[in-house]
Amino acid sequence: MGVDSDSKTKLDKGADRPFNNEGDRIELLNSIRYIDKVFLFNTAEELDETIKNNQPQTMVIGSDWKGKKVVGESHVEELVFFDRISKYSTTKILQCSRQ
C-alpha cells in the first residue's frame, strides 16, 4: 500500500493538508490484516518504481481514478476500483472546520 508523504500531499492539495500525518496513516494501514506492506513515496516515479519492484497482484484505488492514468497499473495483474463513501471525506471535514 502506497502512502503519499506529507510533503507530497501538501504540494498536491495545499498548505492545510494532510489532515492526518503520514505516520498516523501508515500505522492505520498497517493495522489492516489484508494489507501486506505499506510504503511511503514522494513522487509518482518513486511510486511506479516501488510497484514495479514489489509486483503486487492487485492494486486497489478509488473510483475517481476510472478513465485516468493510474501510476503503476502496468505492473499489476488486476486493477480494482472502489466507490468512496461520500460522507467520509477529508475535504468535507476541512470545509466544516472552516465554517
Set out the domains of the chain in order of their start, with CATH numbers: 2-98 (3.40.50.620)
Q: What is the pLDDT of residue 34?
A: 87
What amino acid occupies position 26? I
pLDDT digits (tens, 9 = 90+) for 43-58: 999 999 999 999 989 9
Average pLDDT, the chain: 90
Give the pLDDT mean for 12-39.
Answer: 92
Strand pairing class (78-82; 58-62): parallel
The share of the chain scoring above pLDDT 70, in percent, equals 97
Helix (H, G, I), strand (E, B) or coil at 13: helix
Model confidence, pTM: 0.78
Q: Is residue 95 over pLDDT 90?
A: no
